């Protein structure tokens, strides 16, 4: 097990270092201008020089991402749980949710800006909307995949529908739910950045857009590096939550 964990850490790290070294050598050999392709060393210098600015802009991006993700989780789990109690309601609502899922999410962005205005409400709305679907669909799949024999056993022991849901169906749906949560947290980041591109005066998306206008490619990539680190951290939080839940369930 230790060897497998070491392999999982060393291989991607070694490959990333090799790519960075190749990138650095490529820029030095062919003398690409910084505005076209900055070297990793240039990106690091831009990150250090603008660290305070990048950190300040990362705050609203992180805040809106987590808020949108949490709101999407509450809505996704809540609505899926509600539909699981009524087949009639599920048959009426679920196809409409799937239909909305088929529409490209970016197409809704201008409409959300009109409805919610420019600023944090629009960013929060877009992030929630984009992150909602994988959570909802995964939760529905988990509830539908619950072992029917366990449900029948619970019912035969005179457990109510709510008690059966709480003790049997909800725990059984956890692996499905966390699969959706892992996808949703990455989509929430994307939703916030897209909103910051269109209707914001703060955040990493705004910083990237502003740097693009000034042809500061090294600062753009420095902001993207920080954005990647935030995404990895948020994903890690979800994974840690999954492990804690599964450990609590005895798996």
pLDDT, tens digit, 9 for 90 and up, residues 27-82: 888 888 888 889 899 999 999 999 999 999 999 999 999 999 999 999 999 999 89
Cα–Cα distances in angstroms (integers) from residue 240 to residues 3, 226, 247, in the given order:
21, 21, 10
Contacts of residue 188, defined as CB under 8 A and 6 or more positions apart, other chains included, come to 65, 66, 68, 69, 72, 127, 128, 130, 131, 234
* pLDDT tops 80 at residue 161: no
3-state helix, strand, coil in the chain (%, to 5): 85, 0, 15
**Per-residue model confidence (pLDDT) at position 250:** 64
In whole angstroms, give the CA distance from residue 136 to residue 146.
16
In the structure encoding, which two tokens stand for residue 221, read together? Answer: 């990539």
Handedness of CA 96, 101, 102, 108 (dihedral sign): positive
* pLDDT tops 80 at residue 157: no
**Per-residue model confidence (pLDDT) at position 158:** 66
Q: For helices 120-144 and 51-84, give the axis angle rounded to 10 degrees.
A: 40
Give the number of other CB atoms < 10 A from CB of residue 96.
Answer: 9
Separate counts of helices (H) and strands (E) for the chain: 12, 0
CATH of the domain spanning 39-248: 1.10.3720.10
Q: List strand residue ranges (DSSP E) for 17-68, in order.
A: none
What are the two backbone dihedrals, phi and then psi, of residue 86, each rounded to the nearest 5 degrees? -140, 115
Return the top range by mean pLDDT from 26-35, 209-218, 221-230. Answer: 221-230
Give the number of other CB atoms < 10 A from CB of residue 234.
Answer: 19
With CA atoms as reference, report the closest residue to 43 among 228, 236, 188.
228
Cα angle 65, 123, 139; round to 5:
55
Look at 8 and 190; give whichever has higher pLDDT.
190
Could you tell me what percent of the chain has a pLDDT over 70? 94
Q: Where are the domains of the chain?
A: 39-248
Are 178 and 169 in contact, with CB atoms under 8 Å apart? no
What are the two backbone dihedrals, phi and then psi, of residue 218, each rounded to the nearest 5 degrees? -65, -40
**Per-residue model confidence (pLDDT) at position 78:** 92
């Amino acid at each position: 097990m230790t060897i497998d964990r070491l392999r999982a850490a060393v291989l991607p790290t070694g490959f990333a270092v090799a790519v960075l070294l190749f990138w650095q050598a490529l820029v030095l050999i062919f003398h690409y201008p910084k505005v076209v392709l900055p070297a990793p060393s240039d990106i690091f210098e831009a990150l250090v020089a603008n660290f305070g600015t990048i950190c300040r802009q990362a705050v609203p991006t992180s805040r809106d991402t987590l808020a949108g993700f949490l709101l999407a989780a509450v809505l996704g789990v809540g609505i899926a749980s509600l539909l699981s109690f009524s087949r009639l309601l599920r048959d009426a609502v679920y196809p409409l949710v799937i239909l909305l899922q088929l529409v490209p999410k970016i197409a809704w962005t201008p409409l959300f800006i009109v409805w919610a205005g420019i600023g944090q409400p629009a960013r929060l709305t877009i992030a929630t909307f984009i992150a909602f679907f994988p959570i909802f669909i995964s939760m529905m799949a988990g509830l539908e995949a619950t072992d029917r024999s366990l449900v029948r056993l619970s019912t035969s022991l005179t457990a109510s529908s709510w008690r059966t849901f709480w003790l049997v169906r909800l725990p059984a749906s956890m692996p499905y739910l966390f699969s959706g949560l892992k996808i949703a947290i990455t989509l929430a980041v994307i939703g916030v950045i897209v909103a910051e591109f269109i209707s914001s005066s703060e955040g990493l998306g705004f910083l990237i857009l502003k740097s693009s206008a000034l042809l500061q490619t090294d600062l753009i990539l420095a902001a993207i590096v920080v954005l990647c680190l935030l995404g990895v951290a948020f994903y890690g939080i979800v994974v840690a939550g999954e492990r804690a839940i599964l450990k609590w369930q005895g798996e």
